[in-house]
């Protein structure tokens, strides 16, 4: 769909197939395979890639949602996956081989860290973790076999923001492909390709789907990188999304701008309010002027997202007590839902890191992450207030 249309218009209309009996929504092609009208047509579909053969190879519902995401990311194309992790895995596998070296930002989602730290090295891919805000660490990590720079911005769970344009330029200058996990920002607030990054990945399980009812992932970028990924790796590793989940994702994306506006509005108000509470020693939200990378976030994002984190002075016990006392906000190890969710990273998403590694990444025992939903903000305030009251 033409980029002359605004974001919300593209979120609703892009990828919508024509000629589907006038259907006003993307239809669900809940089928494993597609019949051929003749042997000649079968040859055409296999050899020329015209039309559909088998849903692991491609499916019209999935394709429609890929086109929707590509439009929102300002990308040539996009590939949908069954989860964010499979999107990250397949991106890396299609860009790298045994003997290659990956540089990864150290502040990344815990599952991505495990993939890079424990799985990739088993297959001969070497990984270095760096603080990519520190140029000397980045340059020091470079090797002749470095192929990929992996970034996450804003990052889980401290919302660390990275200067995407600068890092993309650095990577390009060294002939390295840059991949950015932009899950927290969503294409509504940030388009990494606009800043020169090569690929953008999302856990579409989060804000893109937006209702906590599916798992999905997506990679967007140029066809030169996506075609080999789709045709060789994605198809043969079977990392596909089901048509039904793709349908739910496409439906969720239609309301992305409305949901993100409301979540970000609520998150900003809660961050400002928490900053004034005596039980809280620090608040991390890219929209706060006190946030260390506020200027970076402001320069490359159109809004600051729906996730914030804060530290409770009482440490691990206070974090546990706080989340156990919440009545409206759910204790869930996820984010990006219409309902507000609380997570204690030390006991959930980042529990696989040793206490030393967590400390090195600034993830204290008292850190609490809130994924702010679209509820009435006043109700969120009263739930948080009564939970903070339970600490005294």
Binding site for ligand PLP (CB under 6 A): 83-85, 109, 111-112, 152, 156, 181, 183, 203, 205, 215, 217
* Least distance between ligand PLP and beta carbon 43 (Å): 37
Nearer to ligand PLP, 125 or 200 (CB): 200
* Least distance between ligand PLP and beta carbon 24 (Å): 29
Nearer to ligand PLP, 15 or 217 (CB): 217
CA angle 285, 332, 298 (to 5 degrees): 15
Instruction: State yes or no: is 56 an active-site residue.
Output: yes
Residue with the CB atom nearest ligand PLP in the bound state? 84
* Least distance between ligand PLP and beta carbon 25 (Å): 24
Nearer to ligand PLP, 301 or 318 (CB): 301
* Cβ-contact 80, 264 below 8 angstroms: no
* Least distance between ligand PLP and beta carbon 53 (Å): 27
Of the candidates 77, 100, 181, 365, the residue annotated as catalytic is 181
d(CA 155, CA 273): 22
Of the candidates 44, 54, 56, 169, the residue annotated as catalytic is 56
d(CA 225, CA 223): 5
SS3 content of the chain, % helix, strand, coil (to 5): 45, 15, 40
The tokens describing 25, both together, are 């929504």
Instruction: State yes or no: is 294 an active-site residue.
Output: no
Helix ranges, 103-159 (H): 110-114, 135-141
d(CA 388, CA 392): 8
Pairing relation of β-strands 146-152 and 101-105?
parallel
Nearer to ligand PLP, 15 or 345 (CB): 345
- Asked whether the bond before 271 is cis by omega within 30 degrees of 0, the reply is no
Of the candidates 52, 57, 109, 285, the residue annotated as catalytic is 109
Q: What residues are labeled active site?
A: 56, 109, 181, 206
């Amino acid at each position: 769909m033409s980029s002359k249309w605004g974001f919300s218009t593209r979120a609703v209309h892009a990828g919508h197939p024509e000629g589907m009996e006038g259907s006003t929504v993307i239809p669900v092609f809940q089928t494993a395979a597609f019949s051929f009208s003749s042997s000649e047509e079968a040859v055409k579909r296999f050899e020329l890639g015209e039309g559909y053969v088998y849903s692991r190879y491609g499916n019209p519902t999935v394709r429609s949602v890929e086109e929707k995401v590509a439009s929102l990311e300002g990308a040539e194309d996009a590939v949908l996956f069954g989860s964010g992790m499979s999107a990250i895995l397949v991106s890396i596998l299609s860009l790298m081989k045994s003997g290659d070296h990956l540089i990864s930002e150290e502040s990344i989602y815990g599952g991505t860290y495990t993939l890079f730290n424990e799985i990739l090295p088993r297959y001969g891919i070497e990984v270095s973790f760096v603080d990519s805000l520190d140029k000397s660490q980045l340059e020091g990590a470079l090797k002749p076999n470095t192929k990929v720079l992996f970034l996450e911005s804003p990052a889980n769970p401290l919302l660390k923001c990275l200067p995407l344009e600068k890092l993309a330029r650095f990577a390009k200058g060294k002939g390295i492909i840059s991949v950015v996990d932009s899950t927290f920002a969503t294409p509504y607030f940030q388009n990494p390709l606009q800043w020169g990054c090569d690929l953008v990945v999302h856990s579409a399980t989060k804000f893109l789907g937006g209702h906590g009812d599916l798992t999905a992932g997506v990679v967007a970028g140029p066809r030169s990188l996506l075609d080999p990924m789709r045709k060789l790796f994605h198809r043969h590793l079977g990392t596909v999304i089901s048509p039904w989940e793709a349908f739910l994702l496409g439906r969720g994306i239609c309301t992305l701008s409305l949901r993100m506006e409301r979540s970000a509005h609520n998150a900003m108000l809660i961050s400002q309010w928490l900053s004034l509470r005596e039980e809280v020693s620090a608040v991390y939200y890219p929209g706060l002027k006190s946030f260390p990378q506020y200027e970076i976030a402001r320069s490359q994002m159109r809004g600051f997202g729906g996730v914030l984190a804060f530290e409770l002075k009482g440490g691990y016990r206070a974090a546990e007590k706080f989340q156990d006392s919440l009545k409206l906000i759910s204790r869930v190890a996820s984010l990006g839902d219409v309902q507000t969710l609380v997570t204690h990273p030390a006991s959930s998403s980042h529990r696989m890191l040793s206490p030393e590694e967590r400390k090195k990444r600034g993830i204290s025992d008292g850190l609490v992450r809130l994924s702010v939903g679209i509820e009435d903000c006043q109700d969120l305030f009263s739930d948080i207030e009564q939970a903070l009251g339970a600490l005294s």
